Amino acid sequence: MLILITYDVSTVDSAGRKRLAKVAKKCTDHGQRVQNSVFECILDSTQFRRLKYELEELIDKKEDSLRFYNLGDNYKKKVEHIGAKETYDMESPLIL
C-alpha cells in the first residue's frame, strides 16, 4: 500500500535540520521524496508499523509533527501533480 508521510519541523535551527535529514533518510530508504517534507513509501502493514516506530524515535515529539496517510493499494488514480517536477528523484531512486 502507498503510505504518504508528511513531516513538519522548524528548520531554522540546526537541530531541526538534522532531524529532517534523518527523517528524510529513513523515509527514502523505504520510498521516494516527492516534496521537501513529503515522502511516498510502498509498505506492507508490518513495514509500516516498524517505520512509524523508527520515525517516532527520530523526531522531537514536542516540536515536530509527523502525519501518515494510507492511500491503499489502488493509489495511482488518487495522486495528481501540478507544476515543477519533483527534484528528488536523483537522490533517491524510486523503489516500487
**Binding to a second copy by residue 81, rule CB under 8 A?**
yes
Q: Which of 62, 73, 90, 93 binds a second copy (CB under 8 A)?
A: 62
CA distance linking residue 95 with residue 76, whole number of Å: 15
Residue 76, SS3? helix
Residue 12, SS3? coil
> Which CB sits closer to a second copy, 17 or 36?
36
Cell numbers describing residue 22:
534523518
**Binding to a second copy by residue 80, rule CB under 8 A?**
yes
**Binding to a second copy by residue 57, rule CB under 8 A?**
no
Cell numbers describing residue 75:
493509489
Site residues, a second copy (CB under 8 A): 4, 6-8, 34-38, 52, 55-56, 59-72, 77-86
